[in-house]
Structure 1
Amino acid sequence: MPQRPSPYQPDDPAVRIRNVRAEQVRVGDRFITRHGTPSAEVKKLGVISDSFGTPALVEATLASGQKATIAYGSSIRVHTSAPAPQLSFDDLQSLPVEPESPEAVLLSIAEGYPDEPRVLEPTAGLARGVNLKAGAHLEAIYELAQLFVVDLDDRASAWRILEILTELPFDGNFGRWKWVESALALAAFMAYDGGDLDAAERYSAALRQTDHEESDPVQAKLTAELRQRQLDEPNLFDREIHRAVAARNPRTEREWRLQRLSTLLYLLAHGGSRTLDADELRRRIQHELKTLGAPGERPAWSAS
């Protein structure tokens, strides 16, 4: 079952977590680590050029004394108080893309949302070049598809985005595969919900293919037992959601609910379990979609 880092949210409402290009990192920003927590503040920045004088790396010195290097032009998640750049669809149109490429698909979808920063900002990062071997890019593509289902109620666009991921084969890297797995689970639910039961089963079967990757019989048995426990006793983040509600922190509540939704979709793609059958899972999924605001009125947290 896909497990993600706990959704960190800053206490200060003026502070945001966003993807920025390496050269846009500012003094005072904090990097978001792989565990989902912020690093020490950036105290100093410098640019390292390659042998031909072209900027190659951004070097950041943190308050802790630690140094971090980021490839020039690449994207990184930061905890920042810097205002989001004003981005328009005209800015995206200037990016060169290959016809029928993932970048072209994303740009054509963004054309229908010229005033929606939640679409334009991730598209801007991805349209500069999608790397299907980069987990961060797979995550961004999945989260964009999820946005179209949960917030924008545009499943046609969500399908086009999901197709970028659902055709990818398992390459042995579970860190990357979890995002393909999440895309397959969402696609299976949408296909079933749209009445295409054959497609729903194909997506579910593709998701389950890694259940039998272990070749050692003893290890395979242990893995199967662990998987069954995860299916029967899933973490649906009840405690975290209740805590966020009690603290009146809708942004954090939303992040936990999205994780709950992904878990429910994963369970459904496995046909349910001994504790939650398929019908109950579909009921809970519809409840989460309604709570998150699709379709219907958007809750306050959907405004970034």
Structure 2
Amino acid sequence: MKNHLIQRLNLSDILDILSQGGSPVATYLEKIPSKFTKSSKLRLEAFSKLAYVLYITKEKELAKFIVSRLAEVPFENNYDYWEWVESALVLKGLLAKESNETSAYDSAQASILEALNSGNELQLKVKLSVHKRFLEGETLDDEKIRFYANKGDAIAECNERIILLMTLLKLKFFGTEVSYPVEKIEHEITTQSDLINSLISTVGLFKITPFK
């Protein structure tokens, strides 16, 4: 009964549940600045990014707590919002796979594919073309990382590496569908995770997005 009721909650309700004082991630959410909480979309983006930061820093149970709830947000043809719900579903699926929770992974994958395969003929053509390029690794780009690294801006570099890692983890999520070399994905995930943790130890966790 409880799960049924949660499924019926809207995005704002789910974000509010995560922000409640008794929430295990409340102390992190309190440190997210107001510029990231002015709208449901901004809060959704900040919460999704926080989940990835927690995952990277080995706080996987807290990451799971966030994405399990964000994954309840239904697809309503709003791609500005769905980008961040999809990110949560990807991380939920990967965490489920690590715990051998096959049904939870399958559920996350089904939600993503349902959104991907929705729309009219033209929308489908565009979405599937973009998805195909993604599966081929065409969206992997470290130009901004190199720019900020050369500039000596460790905070911006860390933020960009997190974005790259999110893309790599999404490639991993799609597994056998990906035409980009799996071994290279795994190697890059390990490399980027190590570099991000190193940068966080240098600049401090609360100096990076979504805390600044």
Normalised TM-score (structure 1): 0.54
**What SS does the corresponding residue of 1:121 show, helix, strand or coil?**
coil
How high is the sequence identity, in percent, across the aligned residues?
A: 21
Q: Quote how far apart the aligned CAs of 1:299 are.
A: 2.7
Residue in structure 1 matched with residue 117 of structure 2 by the alignment = 212
Over alpha carbons, which structure has the higher Rg? 1
Q: Is the 8 A contact 2:19 2:29 kept in 1?
A: no
Q: Is the 8 A contact 1:254 1:301 kept in 2?
A: no
Residue in structure 2 matched with residue 103 of structure 1 by the alignment = 19
* Shift in alpha-carbon separation, 1:102–1:299, aligned structure 2, 3 A: closer
Residue in structure 2 matched with residue 64 of structure 1 by the alignment = none
**1:235 matched to 2:114:** no
* Shift in alpha-carbon separation, 1:101–1:275, aligned structure 2, 3 A: closer
* Shift in alpha-carbon separation, 1:195–1:224, aligned structure 2, 3 A: same
User: Pairwise mapping of residues 1-304 of structure 1 onto structure 2 (< 5 A)?
Assistant: 101-104=17-20, 107-110=22-25, 119-122=29-32, 134-151=40-57, 153-216=58-121, 219-271=123-175, 272-277=177-182, 279-293=183-197, 298-303=200-205, 304=207
Q: Quote how far apart the aligned CAs of 1:119 are.
A: 4.6
Unpaired runs of 5+ residues, structure 1, are: 1-99
- Number of residue-to-residue matches in the alignment: 189
Q: Quote how far apart the aligned CAs of 1:284 are.
A: 2.4
Q: Is the 8 A contact 1:208 1:270 kept in 2?
A: no
Structure 1, 155-164 or 228-237: larger mean CA deviation: 228-237
Between 1 and 2, higher relative CO (CA 8 Å, sep ≥ 6) is seen in 2
**What SS does the corresponding residue of 1:101 show, helix, strand or coil?**
helix
Structure with the larger helix share: 2
Q: Distance in 2 between matches of 1:214 and 1:225?
A: 14
Q: Distance in 2 between matches of 1:280 and 1:165?
A: 29
Q: Distance in 2 between matches of 1:189 and 1:273?
A: 15
The one-letter amino acid paired with 2:49 is E
Indicate the RMSD between aligned Cα atoms, in angstroms: 3.0
**What SS does the corresponding residue of 1:190 show, helix, strand or coil?**
helix
Q: Is the 8 A contact 1:207 1:269 kept in 2?
A: no
Residues 258-280 of structure 1 show CA distances to partners (whole Å, capped at 9, x for unaligned) of: 11011112222333522233x54
Residue in structure 1 matched with residue 210 of structure 2 by the alignment = none
Q: Distance in 2 between matches of 1:103 and 1:299?
A: 26
Q: Quote how far apart the aligned CAs of 1:256 are.
A: 0.8
**What SS does the corresponding residue of 1:210 show, helix, strand or coil?**
helix
**What SS does the corresponding residue of 1:171 show, helix, strand or coil?**
coil
Normalised TM-score (structure 2): 0.75
* Shift in alpha-carbon separation, 1:215–1:157, aligned structure 2, 3 A: same
Q: Distance in 2 between matches of 1:172 and 1:258?
A: 26
**What SS does the corresponding residue of 1:214 show, helix, strand or coil?**
coil
Residues 21-55 of structure 1 show CA distances to partners (whole Å, capped at 9, x for unaligned) of: xxxxxxxxxxxxxxxxxxxxxxxxxxxxxxxxxxx
